[in-house]
Amino acid sequence: MSSPLAALLWAAGRVQRHRLAALARESRLKIAFVSLSALLLWLGAFALCRGGLELATSLGGSLGEAGGAALADLLMARLLSVFALALFSMLIVSNVLVAYATFYRAEEMRLVVQSPAAPAAVFLGRFYDCVFMSSWALAFLGSPLLLAYGLERGAPPSFYLALVIFYLPFVVIPAAIGALLAMVLVRVLARLSRGRALAVGAVVLVLLGSGLRATVEPPDLSDAATIRALVAAMAHTESSLLPSFWLARGLLAAAAGELGQAGFYALVLVANALLAVWLAAVAAERWLYPGYAVVAEGGGRSRRRRSFAWLDAALRPLPQPGRALVLKDVKLFWRDAAQWSQFLLFFGILVLYVANLGDAGAAYRREPWRSWIAALNVAACLLVLATLTTRFVYPLISLEGRRFWILGLAPVRRRWVAWQKLFTSAALCSLFTVALALLSAWRLELEPSLAAFSVASVLLATAALSGLAVGLGSLYPNFEEESPSRIVSGMGGTLNFILSLVYVLLVVAAVALAVHAPTLLDAGLVPPWIVPAAAAWVVLLSALATWLPMHLGARHLERLEL
């Protein structure tokens, strides 16, 4: 090879080819099912986005004969800006975690750091993995809205070409920022104790929430100018210094056929993407190897081993060896900062959002806004949980690796090992989800019956999503791979994510129907037994989503030859 960077890129290409070859060896039935499920999910998202954009257009047109069309265009432009900013923010957070796993926790980094390659070359050679792992879902989840917008606007063919051109530089910028932040955080936080690191993270979240609360004024939804107030509120998301602004303006220009302006914003994105990658590579030259050394040696100092005696005492009612297995899983979870940090980050953001609902105005606690917000809060909580269970719970069985046979020597059946992981993950996740559901019901001042319904639905969904992840992880284990992100990126992980999304949509539909039941009953649109029917639907669906994957997965583990 002509350079170390070329050698690293060549090796990366070989790895990708082997992954594709392994994918081709999967069951054709599983490939067909996952492909069909993904297609149906994409079509459903496209139909939902198309209907929402048509509604936004009609609402804009209904507010005035002369200015209706202009207001509709403004509303759709602001929606695109909000969407782009949300994606950009989520990509930065995702890339911080992915970069930490790629540059500091990946097994192959032990060999790469001993090569004669410069740190900047190592960074660039593995940077593609960060971009791909963190942003492949953007193309899948973002394309329905953008294509629906193009069709609703009647955009020319150049708009659809612009979607492809704008995509790569837009995802590279947050990937470079996330990698840079990961290197800074490792250098700053790796030498801190875990308690101090958690305290710093809590302070950052509180400051972030306070800043957002001070700068973004919620719209007044109690008067006739609701849509205009909403458009004005969304103006806070637009800034000419943000890549999301360049993306939104460039796509809007392409949709209008203004190719010169679209090309300008495309060049701005490309230039800033190159600058961001260069800055991250320069930072890697100085910080990558020292940070890796600190992480590899456990923080650069001897640490007192944390005692879990209190947890052992709390688990004493459980019989052995179940108590020992639960204690092992909790210790592994606590020692892996990439796991608990994501739980705290995503649910911390949701807690800050829900905690500020009471200060957003009394209109949010009046119908129909209160019912919609209650249902959307449940949806947000379960969608985050579905992502985290796919990322962390699904690989639990596979991460036992080639040492899984050791568990077979223990006086416990493999079936019980799978069920133990279900109970452990469901108990840990419910600490976050149930608390968030209770906080949401309290801030929205829901009636006791509706609050109990939403909290019970979240609790059942937590068990079901955990059962789905553990069951499918047991049904399609990969004992050869040690990286959780690569285990999840296989066909089994994709299937788990798709089925989790379908389950969440079905549960949220029942919750939305239940919280809207009083209004719908007064209008005579639903029968009186609709709430018990929705409750029965959630219970039966959750029981099926929990038991069936666990039954199939546990039976597969029992029959597996290791």
What's the full length of the chain, in residues?
Answer: 562
Closest CA relative to residue 479, chosen from 396, 389, 387, 392: 396
Domain boundaries, the chain: 322-562
3-state helix, strand, coil in the chain (%, to 5): 80, 0, 20
How distant, in Å, are the alpha carbons of 281, 307, 424 from that of 331? Answer: 35, 10, 12
- The 3-state secondary structure of 369-381, one letter per residue: HHHHHHHHHHHHH
CB 252 within 8 A of CB 159: no
Tell me the two tokens of residue 364.
């949010």
DSSP 91-143: HHHHHHHHHHIIIII-TTHHHHTTSS--HHHHHHHHHHHHHHHHHHHHHHHHH
CB 264 within 8 A of CB 165: no
Instruction: Write out the chain's pLDDT in tens, 562 residues.
Output: 567 777 777 777 777 777 677 666 666 766 777 777 778 878 887 887 777 777 666 655 544 444 444 555 666 666 677 777 777 877 887 788 778 878 887 777 777 877 777 888 888 888 887 787 777 767 777 788 888 888 877 888 888 888 888 888 888 998 899 889 888 888 776 665 555 655 655 565 555 555 555 544 455 544 444 555 555 545 555 667 788 888 888 888 888 888 888 889 999 999 999 999 999 999 888 888 888 887 776 654 444 555 566 666 766 677 676 677 777 777 776 666 656 666 666 666 666 555 555 554 455 556 666 777 778 778 878 888 888 888 888 888 887 766 666 666 666 677 778 888 888 888 888 888 888 888 877 877 777 887 888 888 889 999 999 999 999 888 888 777 766 666 777 777 888 888 888 898 888 888 888 877 777 777 677 777 888 888 899 999 999 999 999 988 888 887 776 6
Provide the terminal-to-terminal Cα distance of the chain, rounded to the nearest Å.
39
CB 171 within 8 A of CB 91: yes
- What is the dihedral sign for C-alpha 59, 65, 71, 72? positive
pTM of the model: 0.69
HSE (CB half, 13 Å, CA atoms) of 471? 21
Peptide bond into 116 cis (omega under 30): no
Closest CA relative to residue 552, chosen from 484, 492, 480: 492
- What is the dihedral sign for C-alpha 372, 373, 374, 376? positive
CB 269 within 8 A of CB 247: yes
For 320-365, how does the pLDDT look when each residue is reduced to its tens digit (9 = 90+)?
Answer: 766 777 777 777 766 666 566 666 666 666 665 555 555 544 555 5
Closest CA relative to residue 163, chosen from 255, 237, 74, 77: 255
How distant, in Å, are the alpha carbons of 72, 153, 223, 243, 486 from that of 148? Answer: 15, 8, 30, 22, 32
3-state secondary structure of 245: helix
Q: What is the DSSP letter of 524?
A: T
How distant, in Å, are the alpha carbons of 141, 321, 469, 487 from that of 8? Answer: 30, 45, 34, 22
Between the CA atoms of 513, 519, 522 and 526, what dihedral angle is there, to the nearest 10 degrees?
-10
- What is the dihedral sign for C-alpha 341, 346, 349, 351? negative
How distant, in Å, are the alpha carbons of 246, 357, 486 from that of 494? Answer: 32, 34, 11
How distant, in Å, are the alpha carbons of 23, 33, 107, 136, 502 from that of 30? Answer: 11, 5, 29, 21, 17
DSSP H helices, 154-258, are 157-189, 194-215, 226-234, 243-255
